[in-house]
C-alpha cells in the first residue's frame, strides 16, 4: 500500500465519519460544523486528484460562504439554544433503506463499467490545469455559454434571495 493510498483512506474515513455526523447530529450548529469538516476533507480529496484550483475554491466557496450562511440561518431560526423533540421523522428506517439501496445500486452499476479499476496516467510535465480551465471556461468552442448562464443564475439567485428573505413591513 503506497503512502497516497493510506492518505486517501484516512481522509475518506474522515469525510464519511463527518458526513454521518452531519445527518445525525441533534444540534444543528454542530451539524453545520461537521459539514465544514466534511467539506474540508473533500477539498483534500481534490488535492489528491491534482485539482488544486478546485480544492482551494472548495474552501473559499463552501467553508467561507455556504457554511457561514448555514450557521447564520440556523441562528436566525431558533427560539432558544436547546434542541427538543426528535430530529428525524418517524420512518427514518425507510430513508436509511433507500439510501443504502442507492449506494448498493450505484456501486453495482459502476463495477460493471470497464474503467472502474483504472489507474490515472501521470500528468504531462509542465502541465498547467489552471490556464487550461480558464480557457475552457471562456472559449466559444468550449463552455462559455454554460459559464455565462451560471453567472445569470447567480444574479437571479441573489435578487431572489434578497426578495424572499426581505421583511416587508
Partner 1 sequence: MIPQSWYLILAAALFGIGMFGVLTRRNMIAILLGVELMLNAVNINLVSFWRYSDVLNMSGQVFSVIVFAVTAAEVSVGLALVISAYRRRNTVIANDLDMLKF
Partner 2 sequence: MSFWNDPLKVAADWLEGIFTGWGMDAVLAHVLVAFLGVLLLIIILMVVDIFLVWIERKVVARFQDRLGPNRVGPFGLIQPFADIIKLIIKEDTTPGNADKVVYNLAPILSMMSVLILWAVVPLAPVMLGTDLNVGVLFLVAAGAIGTLAIIMGGWGSNNKFAMIGGFRQVAVMVSFEIPMLTMLMIPVIFSGSMNMNAIIAAQNPIPFWVLSPLGALIFLIAAIAELGRAPFDLAEGESELVSGFNIEYSGMKFGMFYAGELLHAFTFGGFWAILFFGGYRFFGLEQVSPFLAILILVIKAMLGYWVIMWVKYTMMRIRIDQMLAFNWKFLTPLAFALLLVTALMNALLSPAPTWLYALGMFLANVVTGWIALEIARSATKQERDRIEGPTKTAEAHH
> Which span sits near partner 2 by CB under 8 A: 28-36, 102-110, 116-124, 138-146?
28-36
> Which span sits near partner 2 by CB under 8 A: 61-69, 99-107, 117-125, 152-160?
61-69
Residues in the chain: 169
What is the Cα–Cα distance from 5 to 3, expressed in whole angstroms? 5
- In a 13 Å sphere around the CA of 125, the CA atoms on its Cβ side amount to 0
> Which span sits near partner 2 by CB under 8 A: 26-34, 137-145, 147-155, 158-166?
26-34
User: Applying CB under 8 A, what is the total number of residues that bind partner 2?
Assistant: 22
Taking a C-beta distance cutoff of 8 angstroms, is the pair 32, 71 a contact?
A: yes
Task: Find which of partner 2, partner 1, none residue 3 binds, CB within 5 to 8 Å per kind.
Answer: partner 2
Please tell me whether residue 81 binds partner 2 under the rule CB under 8 A: yes
Q: Write the interaction track for partner 1 spanning residues 45-84; mark x where CB under 8 A is met and - where it is not.
A: xx-xxxx-xx--xx--xx--xx--xx-xxx-xx-------
Please tell me whether residue 10 binds partner 1 under the rule CB under 8 A: no
Please tell me whether residue 120 binds partner 2 under the rule CB under 8 A: no
- Which position has the grid cell 450505484? 106
Q: Would you give the DSSP letter of residue 51?
A: -
What is the Cα–Cα distance from 77 to 141, expressed in whole angstroms? 46
Task: Find which of partner 2, partner 1, none residue 126 binds, CB within 5 to 8 Å per kind.
Answer: none
Please tell me whether residue 31 binds partner 2 under the rule CB under 8 A: no
Taking a C-beta distance cutoff of 8 angstroms, is the pair 48, 2 a contact?
A: no
What is the Cα–Cα distance from 99 to 101, expressed in whole angstroms? 5
Q: Identify which of 7, 5, 20 has the alpha carbon closest to the alpha carbon of residue 103.
A: 20
- Interface residue list for partner 2 (CB under 8 A): 3, 29-30, 33, 36, 52-53, 56-57, 59-60, 63-65, 67-68, 71-72, 75, 81, 128, 130
Amino acid at each position: 500500500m503506497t503512502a497516497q493510498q493510506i492518505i486517501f483512506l484516512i481522509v475518506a474515513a474522515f469525510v464519511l465519519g463527518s458526513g454521518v455526523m452531519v445527518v445525525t447530529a441533534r444540534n444543528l450548529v454542530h451539524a453545520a460544523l461537521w459539514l465544514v469538516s466534511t467539506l474540508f476533507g473533500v477539498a483534500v480529496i481534490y488535492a489528491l486528484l491534482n485539482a488544486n484550483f478546485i480544492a482551494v475554491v472548495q474552501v473559499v466557496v463552501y467553508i467561507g460562504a455556504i457554511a457561514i450562511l448555514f450557521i447564520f440561518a440556523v441562528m436566525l431560526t431558533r427560539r432558544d439554544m436547546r434542541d427538543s423533540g426528535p430530529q428525524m421523522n418517524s420512518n427514518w428506517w425507510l430513508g436509511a433503506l433507500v439510501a443504502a439501496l442507492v449506494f448498493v445500486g450505484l456501486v453495482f452499476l459502476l463495477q460493471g463499467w470497464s474503467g472502474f479499476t483504472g489507474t490515472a496516467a501521470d500528468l504531462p510535465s509542465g502541465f498547467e490545469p489552471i490556464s487550461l480551465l480558464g480557457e475552457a471556461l471562456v472559449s466559444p468552442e468550449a463552455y462559455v455559454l454554460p459559464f455565462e448562464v451560471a453567472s445569470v443564475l447567480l444574479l437571479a439567485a441573489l435578487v431572489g434571495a434578497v426578495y424572499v428573505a426581505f421583511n416587508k413591513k
